[in-house]
Chains A and B, each alone.
Chain A
């Protein structure tokens, strides 16, 4: 069985400051701190790739305007303006 594409959380890794607030806020524990550093020297947050329920906690906990995007269940990439 292939997993549904959405919901899904996506970290814009170069804008992430590695604060870890999204990781702490995720009820499904599907965000983790990367062992790798981004271009600014932070261990950025990463979505493990499955298990996101689209609750939005990570988005609202993240202080950076553009570091996290959450595609919700009903997201349709073709409708994006």
Chain B
């Protein structure tokens, strides 16, 4: 149908509800940014091809990291450079969907160089829109693989020197050497006639994608007024005068009618089939009969946190390992952040009968805080009615919550009395057993040789005393 009006295309969301702040009706892009122009071409093409509802768009890392605010499609946001890998999985698992990988030049040609190469070489059913603005826009204007010789960036203050920094990466030229890709073209956004050519290329790539015709890539020469420190109109002149001569426009590969529609096996998401392949029996062999566990402790989401070296990870692993022997489903998720260098180290443990969804204990039903920063950091997240166990040897402040059960235990002190502060983890397990009723002390002690495989008997005995100490302290004081 012939258009009678050119207005915001339906490929965009009406309201950018995922965008934080009050401005939910405009993009986060700088004035004059080429990303916005390309977004409009993609949104319009999706509307016109009637594929908005069957498209899944993968946002990269870069200024377009928030592309998912805008497009009215299914959306994923990938780690830096990994959009083609996420697009591969998305496309394989959803062979009837149109999958778009939207990427910048840092994302695609630097950190993600191998990802795009392999996806192109496999001829994945994806449409890649590759924004070449000759710079890392998002991080403040560093050199990208596509930066021009002589171009001044924050990391090439004297201009890119090809002898030290290499030559501009010519993605279309490189990828078009491969056998698998269907369609590869380079376009530019520097003036209205070229934007129209870009529009045609975007539509062609998406039409091919709709017909499942393999790998499509459109490289878009684009502007970054902020990173280049140029006004928007000058930026477009710069694209025309500097970029286009170095990056020749045109079709680099087009299989046209020869494009092959590859049918791939769809991965099977059947846990039983996977277990069988791995030789694991889906039937759990329950070794220990369960005791009486009050309802409130039957579905545990636990955050264990403290200093690195306080046995935080061992506590988490031991909780999960012991619970497994009672036939629970368990997960253990360590968090190794910058906090490893002091402050807090932490892990999440889930113990329950149903299938565990998210492994992170975002809203834990129990917090085991081994030092003060951990208490301060995580206390607020404990669910109302949940349980807080804190290490009163090291924490001299009172918890602030009044809507949770609180157990102040001198964990480090008890371990120290036993002669080795490294047994704090097993003091924790004993205390947990006493509070929840989930483990029996004898069972835990039987398991110790398995938990501390290869350790001397003396160590195992010491840990057995630690379990008992933790258990008895709770029983005697609460």
Contact = CB atoms under 8 A, between A and B. Distances in A.
Most A CB contacts (10 A, CB to CB) among B35, B43, B192 go to B192
Contacts of A68: 6
B246 to A, nearest CB: 22
Nearest to B16: A65
A65 B35 contact: no
Contacts of B231: 20
B36 A65 contact: yes
B191 A25 contact: yes
Contact of A71 (B5, B40, B192): B5
Contacts of B34: 63
A53 B34 CA distance: 25
Given A21-B232, A61-B37, A75 B5 contact: yes
B2 A61 contact: no
Nearest to A55: B192
A60 B236 CA distance: 14
A51 B41 CA distance: 26
Given A20-B231, A65-B39, A69-B7, A15 B32 contact: no
A37 interface: no
Interface string A37-72: 000001000000000000111011111111111111
B62 interface: no
Candidate in A18, A25, A64 with the most chain B CB atoms within 10 angstroms: A64
Closest 4 CB pairs of A and B: A63-B36, A19-B32, A17-B31, A19-B31
A74 B70 contact: no
B6 A69 contact: yes
Interface of A is mostly: loop
B453 interface: no
A74 B2 contact: yes
Nearest to A74: B4
A18 B231 CA distance: 11
Interface string B4-39: 111111001000000000000111011111111101
A62 B4 contact: no
A20 to B, nearest CB: 5
Given A19-B31, A69-B8, A72-B3, 9 more contacts: A15-B26, A60-B6, A63-B35, A63-B36, A65-B43, A65-B70, A66-B12, A70-B6, A75-B4
A28 interface: no
B37 A62 contact: yes
Contact of B27 (A63, A70, A80): A63
B92 interface: no
21 contacts: A15-B26, A20-B32, A20-B233, A21-B236, A24-B236, A25-B191, A42-B31, A59-B6, A61-B37, A62-B40, A63-B29, A63-B33, A63-B36, A65-B40, A66-B26, A69-B6, A69-B7, A70-B6, A74-B4, A76-B4, A80-B5
A79 interface: yes
B41 A72 contact: no
Interface residues of A, number: 31
Interface of A: 15, 17-21, 24-25, 42, 55-57, 59-72, 74-76, 79-80
B196 interface: yes
Contact of B6 (A20, A25, A56, A63): A56
Interface string B333-349: 00000000000000000
A65 B6 contact: no
A75 B6 CA distance: 10
B195 interface: yes
B192 A65 contact: no
A74 B195 CA distance: 23
Contacts of B33: 63
B372 interface: no
A35 B34 CA distance: 25
Given A69-B7, A72-B6, A74-B2, A63 B32 contact: yes
B160 interface: no
Contacts of B4: 71-72, 74-76, 79
Interface string B200-243: 00000000000000000000000001000001110010000000
B37 A65 contact: no
